């Protein structure tokens, strides 16, 4: 079942663990790894405009920036259009708006614990993550 992730909420829950210079890119990488290991699809939503050279697709993970709208609006729209699966958020309002439909709301802290367990998994291959990362042309910079 697909996962819809409220990226800002997960970043807030990861703040202590995420030491990356660019936390959104790191979350995108981790989401792609999660999707690969769980054999599922993930869409991670962030508020605001898309930064330059930010990949939209990393394997089975899709990264969406909301532009002038809120990421919450895009997630609600996706669920209303018939999406089923999981919504990862700690936002009670968003959880109430999508709850009771064909989705299960997962708290961001619980999702972070799942990510941490996956990172300890010996089957987690960083090489596959890098292959997924560089499969999107936006991640290939010319020198």
CATH assignment of the domain containing 27: 3.40.50
**Domain for residue 142, yes or no?**
no
**Domain for residue 120, yes or no?**
yes
Residue 74's nearest CA partner among 112, 110, 43 is 43
pLDDT recorded at residue 22: 84
**Domain for residue 99, yes or no?**
yes
Domain that holds residue 65: 3-137
Exposure string over 78-107, b if 16+ CB within 10 A, otherwise e: bbeeebebbbbbbbeebbebbeeeebebbe
**Domain for residue 68, yes or no?**
yes
- Number of separate domains in the chain: 1
pLDDT recorded at residue 123: 58
pLDDT recorded at residue 124: 54
**Domain for residue 143, yes or no?**
no
CA distance 27 to 65: 13
pLDDT recorded at residue 133: 56
Q: pLDDT averaged over consecutive 10-residue blocks of the chain (143 residues)?
A: 93 72 86 92 96 89 96 95 91 91 91 85 56 61 52
**Domain for residue 74, yes or no?**
yes
Give the global pTM.
0.81
């Amino acid at each position: 079942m697909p996962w819809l992730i409220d990226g800002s909420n997960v970043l807030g829950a990861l703040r202590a663990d995420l030491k990356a210079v660019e936390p959104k890119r790191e979350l995108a990488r981790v989401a792609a790894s999660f999707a690969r290991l769980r054999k599922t699809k993930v869409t991670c939503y962030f508020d605001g405009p898309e930064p330059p050279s930010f990949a939209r697709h990393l394997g089975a993970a899709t990264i969406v920036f909301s532009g002038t709208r809120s990421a919450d609006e895009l997630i609600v729209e996706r669920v209303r259009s018939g999406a089923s699966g999981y919504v990862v958020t700690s936002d009670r309002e968003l959880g109430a708006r999508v709850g009771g439909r064909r989705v299960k709301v997962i708290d961001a802290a619980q999702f972070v614990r799942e990510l941490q367990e996956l990172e300890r998994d010996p089957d987690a291959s960083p090489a596959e993550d890098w292959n997924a990362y560089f499969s999107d042309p936006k991640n290939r910079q010319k020198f």
